[in-house]
Amino acid sequence: MMEGAYVDEARMEPLQLGVLAALTPKDIEVVMYDDRMEDVPFDEKTDLVAITVETYTAKRSYEISKEYQKRGVAVVLGGMHPTLIPQEASQYADSIVIGDAETVWKDIIFDMKEGKLKKVYKGEFGEPQPGVFTDRDIFKGKGYLPLSLIQFTRGCKYNCQFCASSVYFKQKQYCRKIADVVAEIKAHKLKLVFFVDDNIVANKERAKRLFKALIPLKIKWVSQASIDMTEDLELMELMKQSGCLGNVIGFESINIDNLRSVSKVPNIRGFNIYQEQIEILRKYNQQTWAAFTLGHEYDTVDTVKRVSEFAIKNKFAFAAFNILMPYPNTPLYDKLKSEGRLLYNGKWWLDDSYRFNYTPFKPKSMTAKQLTEAAYQARKKFNSPISIIKRSFDLKTHMSSLLRYIVYFQYNPLIRKEIYKKQGMLFGKKTKK
């Protein structure tokens, strides 16, 4: 198994492959190659290749698939992208998985042994990893960031118009048993954990039960959460007590009209340019990785600049300034397509001329080139040495503990480096013959 992706120094464990490895029968040898940091040995003998595909990695994944198929090796593609656009993915593989692979993985293995792989497997959504602990042995020696990935829930109840996950899970959230989460943390002696949930607080009462169970473990953790968590102070207190360092939070925009246009419901309630919510986060010593999407209907070059100034002013630990991306079969994609605003023939992820962090559609109040440049400048400004130093002086967040301070200065220079490295990068690459 492998993950098709571009080279990334800030790479994290491909959790989904660790789960499938754990589900693989013991008589099957499993080897994982990560195209982000090592060459894929195409001539190494194998019976089946499984690749998890995201939209950003689709082109490279298809290249890898072709190389194996040329050698007579069966390839199965799974992940979010094949579910969003199965008719495309099926052209590049012997078999595809629509939905979660967990429930059909053993069927795939059995059919592979019998030489009867089906063209399509439809995995049902349900309780994640029931009684299954991630196989972390396949991650050893790969140089991943010192974070152990784990999952409590999958999916989110909200319906943000640009969100591929919302389409994938059909606005539903599926919860893993808390006892299983705790048992895996104990069994693998995890200390610094990243819950890769789409929104760990989407169900606040369920999140509280998890946080209470984490308190005795004395771990430190981060996750992804919606800003409406600040409406529940009991939740915030439990989050702090359970060892939460902070969360990735989708701010998206500082313009309420933009938020309404993409149905960012948790951000609209009581909107006041987030000042009350940010103060609550600071009160509970939460470092914030603010995620912004740029290129909304009411965005201009000037508003993009103001977003970066807003992020610096509020001393966020980290901030992502992502161009609003039309992922296939999302409401945003369909809207832009109907308005004739998609560029690159509507398939930016496969177009040979598309570059990483470029704008793949026609914005309303600026050109695609202007948006690309404005987003790049926002990243440069926020991650400049002066900004990094200036943002570090916050007694309630980054300076509230030694670990938070170390995390801040460990990752900010790495992110700064990645900005210059990835801007304008081509998708895919030629494979060796």
DSSP 361-403: B--SSS-HHHHHHHHHHHHHHHTSHHHHHHHH--TTTTTSSHH
pLDDT of amino acid 180: 97
CA–CA gap between residue 220 and residue 190 (Å, rounded): 9
Does pTM surpass 0.85?
yes
Q: Which two three-digit tokens encode residue 388?
A: 């990094």
Q: What is the pLDDT of residue 429?
A: 76
**Judging by DSSP bridges, how do beta strands 173-175 and 153-155 pair with one another?**
antiparallel
Listed residue (100, 94, 99) closest to 48, CA to CA: 94
Average pLDDT over residues 195-202: 96
Q: How many CA atoms lie within 13 A of 18 on its CB side?
A: 17
The pLDDT of 194-199, averaged and rounded, is 96
Whether 339 has a pLDDT exceeding 50, the answer reads yes
Categorize the per-residue pLDDT at 36 as very low, low, confident or very high, splitting at 50, 70 and 90. Answer: confident
The reported pLDDT for the residue numbered 428 is: 85
How far is Cα of residue 299 from the mean position of the Cα atoms in its chain? 24
What residue type is 318 in one-letter code? F
Distance CA 5, CA 62 (A): 11
Give the DSSP H/E element, type plus range, for residue 23.
helix 15-23
Look at residue 2 in the predicted model and tell me its pLDDT. Answer: 40
* Count of other CB atoms within 10 angstroms of residue 137: 12
pLDDT at 421: 85
Confidence of residue 1 (pLDDT cuts 50, 70, 90): very low
Please report, rounded to a whole number, the percentage of residues in the chain having pLDDT higher than 90. Answer: 88
Average of per-residue pLDDT across 341-348: 97
- Helices 402-422, 368-382: axis angle to 10 degrees equals 150
Q: How many Å apart are CA 73 and CA 67, to the nearest integer?
A: 9
Within 10 angstroms of residue 283's Cβ, the number of other Cβ atoms is 14
In which band, very low, low, confident or very high, does the pLDDT at 430 lie, cut at 50, 70 and 90? low
Per-position b or e across 248-258, b if 16+ CB within 10 A of its CB? bbbbbbbbeeb
Confidence of residue 179 (pLDDT cuts 50, 70, 90): very high
- Pick the closest to residue 131 from 98, 105, 104, 102 (CA basis): 102
Contacts of 258 (CB under 8 A, 6+ apart): 252, 296, 297, 298, 299
User: What gap in Å lies between CA 319 and CA 307, rounded to an integer?
Assistant: 10
Q: Are 195 and 221 in contact, with CB atoms under 8 Å apart?
A: yes
The CA-to-CA distance between both ends of the chain, in Å, stands at 20
pLDDT, average across residues 39-49: 95
Please, which pLDDT band fits residue 7 given cuts at 50, 70 and 90?
Answer: low
Q: Could you tell me the domains of the chain?
A: 2-123 (3.40.50.280), 146-422 (3.20.20.70)
| Burial class of residue 175, CB neighbours in 10 A (0-12, 13-18, 19+) | buried
pLDDT at residue number 398 = 96
Query: Rounded mean pLDDT of 292-312?
Result: 97
> Which amino acid, one-letter code, is at 367?
T
User: In a 10 Å sphere around its CB, with 0-12 CB exposed, 13-18 middle and 19+ buried, how is residue 341 labelled?
Assistant: middle
For the segment 153-173, what is each residue's pLDDT rounded down to a tens digit?
Answer: 999 989 899 999 999 998 899
The answer for residues whose C-beta is within 8 angstroms of residue 121's C-beta and 6 or more apart is 76, 95, 96, 97, 98, 101, 104, 107, 108
- Which own/partner contact pairs does 352-356 have at CB distance under 8 Å and 24+ positions apart? 354/427, 355/423, 355/424, 355/425, 355/426, 355/427, 356/6, 356/56, 356/422, 356/423, 356/424, 356/425, 356/426, 356/427
